[in-house]
Amino acid sequence: MGRYVIRRLIQAIPVLLGATLLIFVIVFALPGDPIAALFGDKRPDPAVAEVLREQYHLNDPLLLQYWYYISGVLFRGDFGVNFADVPVSQLMAGKFQVTLNLAVTALVMEAVIGVGLGLFAALRRGKASDTMILAATLLLISVPTLVTGFVLQLVLGVKLKQWTGADIFPVAGVFAGWRSYLLPGFVLAGLGVAYLTRLTRTSLVETLRADFIRTATAKGLSRRRVIGRHGLRNALIPMVTYLGADLGNLMGGAVITETIFNLPGIGNQLFQSVYLREQPVVVGIVTVLVLIYILANLVVDMLYAVLDPRIRYE
């Protein structure tokens, strides 16, 4: 196992370099001049612009620029600075905290609601409640986050506050502590809840048809133990791995949700930096996101081996 982890981490290096190079090139290829953007609406003095261009190595070949950047990141942990001269690493640290809070909130909601509904539906397969749950998940999958986000913000945030006078679900910012994350967390979790419900249902239904479930029954075990121990332990494998992989998705996929709810997270920052052409910020955020994806996948792969003894890594 240890050797496998090391091998996987080594494999992550070219992936990380490739991904950052790609994003570096794409951001470079964006139309417009970063120096011009730096000056905003004013026309820069050509001499000053030239000095800045030289200072930021913008006259060097693209690959050399990439080398300056990546060597800074790798050897000095230096992600560069944004237009306001704030170090990107410092900028990201605070934003990542917000995004992590949001992702974990969403993940917990996914796990509790998705697994709960899935188990309920699986044990009542073919009955009306099962059909209703399936229909609800289909609805959740079909409606884009953009719609659920704004609708819930309006109904549960704004209108509910007007009716009751109590600010149960704050609709913007992170000023209300953990409660600020409830509504955006639910919006972000929506798709995952739907998928996990269906995955849980299918997985358990399939497992309960297996021969070893019949054996467990023949051993004289209670139905509760047959389903709870023998069934669930096997059905858990795809569920846990889905949740693990989804943490990466939730971290990176929160751009729309964070923007709707005005949460100062990494997605929101990414959106603004792309808009402002803050090249170092965009590349920095994407680099860290790629790293999170790689680590999340590694954890999932290791979870496989823990959950299913038939899988061995050497």
Partner 1 sequence: MKRTAPEVLPAEGGLGDEPLLAVDDLHVEFHTRAGVVRAVNGVSYTVNPGETLAVLGESGSGKSVTAQAIMGILDMPPAVIPQGEIRFKGTDLLKLSDDARTQVRGQRIAMVFQDALSALNPVFTVGWQISEMFRVHRGMSKSDAMKKAVELMDKVRIPAAKQRVHDYPHQFSGGMRQRIMIAMSIALDPEVLIADEPTTALDVTVQAQIMDLLAELQRESQMGMILITHDLGVVADVADKIAVMYAGRIVENAPVHDIYRAPAHPYTKGLLESIPRVDLKGQELYAIKGLPPNLLDLPTGCAFHPRCPYRQDNCVTSAPPLYEISGTRSSACHYWREVLDGEQQ
Quote the least distance from Cβ 113 to partner 1, whole Å. 25
Quote the least distance from Cβ 226 to partner 1, whole Å. 10
- Quick one: 168 or 306, whose CB is closer to partner 1? 306
Quote the least distance from Cβ 289 to partner 1, whole Å. 33
The residue count of the chain comes to 314
- Quick one: 122 or 216, whose CB is closer to partner 1? 216
Q: How many residues bind partner 1 (CB under 8 A)?
A: 21
Maximum Cα interatomic distance, the chain, rounded to a whole number of Å: 87
* Alpha carbon distance 223, 214 (integer Å): 11
Residue 7 half-sphere exposure, CB side, CA atoms within 13 Å?
A: 8
Subset of residues 45 to 74 that bind partner 1, contact rule: CB under 8 A: none
- Quick one: 160 or 236, whose CB is closer to partner 1? 236
- Quick one: 191 or 204, whose CB is closer to partner 1? 204
> In the stretch 206-225, what mask flags binding to partner 1 with x, by CB under 8 A?
----xxx-xxxxxxxxx--x
- Quick one: 49 or 213, whose CB is closer to partner 1? 213
Subset of residues 107 to 126 that bind partner 1, contact rule: CB under 8 A: none
> In the stretch 125-164, what mask flags binding to partner 1 with x, by CB under 8 A?
----------------------------------------
* Alpha carbon distance 314, 311 (integer Å): 10
User: 50-59 long-range CB contacts below 8 Å, 24 or more apart?
Assistant: 58/34
Asked if 233 touches partner 1 (CB under 8 A), the answer is: yes
* Alpha carbon distance 279, 308 (integer Å): 44
* Alpha carbon distance 180, 177 (integer Å): 6
3-class state of residue 87 by DSSP: strand
Quote the least distance from Cβ 241 to partner 1, whole Å. 14
CB atoms within 10 A of CB 82: 19
Quote the least distance from Cβ 237 to partner 1, whole Å. 8
Residue the block writes with tokens 């009716």: 163
> In the stretch 271-310, what mask flags binding to partner 1 with x, by CB under 8 A?
------------------------------------xxxx
Given a contact cutoff of 8 angstroms between Cβ atoms, the answer to whether 228 and 208 are in contact is: no
- Quick one: 95 or 230, whose CB is closer to partner 1? 230
Q: Which residues pair with 87 in a beta bridge?
A: 81
Which residue stretches of the chain are H helix?
A: 2-29, 34-38, 46-55, 62-76, 88-109, 115-123, 128-142, 145-152, 160-164, 182-208, 211-218, 223-225, 232-252, 255-260, 266-276, 279-307
Helix (H) or strand (E) holding 180: none
Quote the least distance from Cβ 234 to partner 1, whole Å. 6
Q: Which residues pair with 81 in a beta bridge?
A: 87
Quote the least distance from Cβ 227 to partner 1, whole Å. 13
- Quick one: 52 or 221, whose CB is closer to partner 1? 221
What distance lies between CA 225 and its chain's CA centroid?
35
> In the stretch 181-210, what mask flags binding to partner 1 with x, by CB under 8 A?
-----------------------------x
Contact positions vs partner 1 (CB under 8 A): 210-212, 214-222, 225, 230, 233-234, 237, 307-310
